[in-house]
């Protein structure tokens, strides 16, 4: 089964997920992953050990498409579940942030086209027991499907792939200018890292939300406050960083709304997502994104934000 290559229109607040399942003794758990991250779905392959990868969920590696060596991860082991033995296991081959990884699952059901409004945010208990690897919950017919944060899984297995940021040299930090950034991301780990790393630089103050809808509401409130107080909005908020995949409202829809609003369109919007690839960048451009960076490239994103903020019109007198 290969990727469908269906590319949804930008800013419609829709997504497509591949639904798959993990069979445990007496229970079948249903999960989903964004179609845009799936290269293909194949049968179980011969596995070679990878001694350098000591995490118990890494089964080894297999040869894929002309001999490329791809690490193979047991999702059941990573989620601390006991997977039933089967002769028909499947591998979901994913690619995001230029990293190709295989995930062993019990089987695959189908592709679903959804609106982000139908994706619920996971509660704290679910986040805790899943090691923060579940970013959304979807109710389909008589079952619940958990949308997995594959980036979090991969970064947990290989910390070198996590978001990082080199401290800005003190002589390059303009301490008289601290810029306020609104950051929207449904991943708690990403929010924590982005806020800490940007604020530690001494150049940014970060306001955070867990969804595009919450970010939009924050912007509307800031806009109303500016109108009521007479203080220019440009003095209150300077730029927006947004993930693309988020419950309720995705980052593409958030970006489109900002750029269509006469009072907010001055804001530079940077999309910061594992879905930023050469083949999908056109979606960000179509909604007016000023910059697009794949995680974990926070360094280049922050430099570009400072450049974009410098190009925004000065506050009204």
Q: Cα torsion for 180, 311, 211, 130, to the nearest 10°?
A: -80
Q: Is the pLDDT of residue 12 over 70?
A: yes
Between 306 and 253, the higher pLDDT residue:
253
Q: What are phi and psi of 203, to 5 degrees?
A: -110, -15
* Cα distance between residue 4 and residue 150, in whole Å: 19
Quickly list H helices, the chain. Answer: 75-78, 124-129, 150-157, 188-200, 212-229, 251-260, 281-286, 298-311
User: Which DSSP category does 162 fall into?
Assistant: S
pLDDT over threshold 80, residue 3: no
Residues 6+ apart with CB under 8 A from 303: none
CA–CA separation, 178 and 235 (whole Å) = 11
Q: What is the CATH number of domain 163-310?
A: 3.40.50.2300
pTM: 0.78
Beta bridge partners of 272: 293
Q: Other CB atoms closer than 10 Å to residue 272's CB: what's the count?
A: 26
On the question of pLDDT at 317 being above 50, the answer is no
- pLDDT tens-digit readout, 196-229: 888 888 889 999 999 999 999 999 999 999 999 9
- Could you read off the pLDDT of 178-192 as tens digits, one per residue? 899 999 998 887 888
pLDDT at 270 over 80: yes
Give me 126's structure tokens. 């679910």
Q: Boundaries of CATH 3.40.50.2300 in the chain?
A: 163-310
Q: Which architecture does CATH list for 14-159?
A: Beta Barrel (2.40)
138 and 144 in contact (C-beta within 8 Å)? yes
Residues of the chain with CATH 2.40.50.180: 14-159
User: In the structure encoding, which two tokens stand for residue 16, read together?
Assistant: 């497509």
Rounded to whole angstroms, how far apart are CA atoms 227 and 264?
12
């Amino acid at each position: 089964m290969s990727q469908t290559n269906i590319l949804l229109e930008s800013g419609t607040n829709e997504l497509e997920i591949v639904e798959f399942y993990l069979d445990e003794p007496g229970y079948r758990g249903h999960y989903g992953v964004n179609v845009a991250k799936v290269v293909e779905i194949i049968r179980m392959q011969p596995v070679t050990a990878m001694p350098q990868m000591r995490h118990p969920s890494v089964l080894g590696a297999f040869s894929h498409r002309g001999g490329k060596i791809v690490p193979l991860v047991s999702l059941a082991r990573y989620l601390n579940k006991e997977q039933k033995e089967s002769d028909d296991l499947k591998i979901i081959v994913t690619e995001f942030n230029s990293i190709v990884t295989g995930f062993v699952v019990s089987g695959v059901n189908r592709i679903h086209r959804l609106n982000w409004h139908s994706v619920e945010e996971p509660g704290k208990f679910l986040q805790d027991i899943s090691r923060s690897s579940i970013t959304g919950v979807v109710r389909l017919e008589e079952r619940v499907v958990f949308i997995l944060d594959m980036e979090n899984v991969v970064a947990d297995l290989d910390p070198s792939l996590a978001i990082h940021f080199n401290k800005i040299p003190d002589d390059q930090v303009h301490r008289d200018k601290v810029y306020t950034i609104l950051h929207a991301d449904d991943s708690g780990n990403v929010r924590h890292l982005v806020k800490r790393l940007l604020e530690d630089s001494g150049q940014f103050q970060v306001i955070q939300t867990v969804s595009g809808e919450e970010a939009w509401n924050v912007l509307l409130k800031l806009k109303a406050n500016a109108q009521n107080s007479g203080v220019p909005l440009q003095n209150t908020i300077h730029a927006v960083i947004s993930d693309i995949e988020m419950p309720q409202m995705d980052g593409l829809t958030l970006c489109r709304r900002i750029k269509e609003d006469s009072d907010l369109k001055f804001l530079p919007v940077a999309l910061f997502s594992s879905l930023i690839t050469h083949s999908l960048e056109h979606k960000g451009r179509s909604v007016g994104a000023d910059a697009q960076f794949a995680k974990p490239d926070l360094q280049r994103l922050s430099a570009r934000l400072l450049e974009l903020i410098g190009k925004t019109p000065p506050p009204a007198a």
